[in-house]
Amino acid sequence: MWIWILTGLAVVFILYCFLPNLYSRNLSPFVLRKGSGEERKIALTFDDGPNPRYTPRVLDILKDYQVPAGFFLVGERAARHPELVRRMLQEGHTVGIHSYSHRHAWLMPPGTTYRDMGKSHRILSQIAGQAPRWYRPPWGTFNLMTLPAARKLKLIPVYWSIEAQDWEEWATPEHIHDAVMDLAKPGSIIVLHDSGGAPGAPEKTIAALPLIIEDLKKQGFQFTTLDRMKGASPC
């Protein structure tokens, strides 16, 4: 009996979690992973905010360097700090959905997946006065319902091409900087975090951010939002 139960659970996991995640991350034409690469444009994105301790400091740095970015926001945090969401929009940044409560996609059944996304969609629409366009699932993981739910809400799912492990306890500002610089190429989408991770992790991201911006500019990169990334390709 147990062998049949375990086999059934394995089949459910493969069909609902593993295969959709593999397809969405690597093959789906509906998921944006990088730009076309035809121009030296690069997109800087931040996940898990807004955070009243860290997000204003990230915004200050971006304003000082005149760099636009994308912020993927957790719905319940956006509801608590709508002034930060409005500041992002006022300063020319793109705002997208990063779930309502940062639950892993593999732990959410189909109905919960859609309701979670829809709740965040309503919150950001009310704060911004317009519907969000972009969606990035927590941990970059997808289930079988993620793409259909996003399409129903007219959201474009976004993955990334560079991650710097800035949420890890062991990550240093030097590691974060070097991880970005080693992989940077035209059309790259960088993911960093302005909230969450190990205790104090965003401090290291904030410490690394100015040098990342300066060195990418020295290499001739131009920062752009996901909305403006010319010739953006999901492949």
Measured in degrees and rounded to the nearest 5, phi and psi for residue 106 equal -75, -10
Inter-axis angle of helices 173-183 and 201-218, to 10 degrees?
40
pLDDT score of 231: 55
31 falls within a domain: no
Domain range for 138 is 36-223
Question: Is 193 known to be catalytic?
Answer: yes
The whole-model pTM stands at 0.95
* Count, residues in the chain: 235
Which of 48, 116, 193, 194 is the catalytic position? 193
Measured in degrees and rounded to the nearest 5, phi and psi for residue 87 equal -65, -45
Residue 51 · residue 202 · CB < 8 Å = yes
What radius of gyration do the chain's Cα atoms show?
A: 18
* Ordered alpha helix ranges (H), the chain: 2-13, 19-26, 55-65, 75-80, 82-90, 110-128, 146-152, 173-183, 201-218
62 falls within a domain: yes
Which of 47, 48, 116, 194 is the catalytic position? 47
124 falls within a domain: yes
5 falls within a domain: no
Based on the structure, what is the number of domains in the chain?
1
150 falls within a domain: yes
Distances (CA, A) of 140 to 7, 64, 98, 106, 209: 26, 30, 10, 11, 22
CATH code, domain with 170: 3.20.20.370
pLDDT score of 117: 97
User: pLDDT tens string for the chain (235 positions)?
Assistant: 778 777 778 988 999 999 999 999 999 999 999 998 888 999 999 999 999 999 999 999 999 999 999 999 999 999 999 999 999 999 999 999 999 999 999 999 999 999 999 999 999 999 999 999 999 999 999 999 999 999 999 999 999 999 999 999 999 999 999 999 999 999 999 999 999 999 999 999 999 999 999 999 999 999 999 988 755 544 4
3 falls within a domain: no
pLDDT score of 70: 97
pLDDT score of 235: 42
234 falls within a domain: no
Question: Is 47 known to be catalytic?
Answer: yes
88 falls within a domain: yes
pLDDT score of 125: 98
